Structure 1
């Protein structure tokens, strides 16, 4: 990575209380971009199914757990890096679906005046 890219990645600001990291949206690490593209490829292959927005949170969490077990199994069985990556993409997609549905539900609750008290 050249100096210009390296300086653009993350600018860390440390104060007495905590370290704050500022994200620079003009740069995404190659590994992150490649993985995100892989996630989208998996989603596109599954576009024939109904979307995650209609899925129950418990169902998505069960599927996330199942996919995590598949990662463990693939590693334990000495599967190829491509197979392990494929399983990791599934884990990431289910985690994203959960995060997306929770964020949408929180926005809807906020718009109805049911303000969330969570700090995250």
Structure 2
């Protein structure tokens, strides 16, 4: 799943570099930030933000269940965010059961992305945190 996800990220990054002009940067970066929260709060149960070259290009949350792109981004796979929401909700449910924390408010955060260097090399990463750790 990670290898497939990174291929998707790299494709999106390459496409998006045509939409953003950064004259002083030798590298380009694409990052996604996710937060899943157990129910029982006024916060959305799932939130995702996409950032390219430190500029937000999209937003999604479970309250609106709709991807909100910036004006510079036109095309995006319509089912991508709902699949990510489903995955994160399943993971936070599994974690709360695994740690016997089925009550209270808990969070699962994810961050992944990649960097495209001016020499064509790339570097990817993926990190998770549960309840701030």
Higher helix share: 1
TM-score, structure 1 as length reference: 0.29
Q: Which has the larger radius of gyration?
A: 1
Structure number with higher relative contact order (C-alpha < 8 Å, ≥ 6 residues apart) = 2
TM-score, structure 2 as length reference: 0.26
Higher strand share: 2
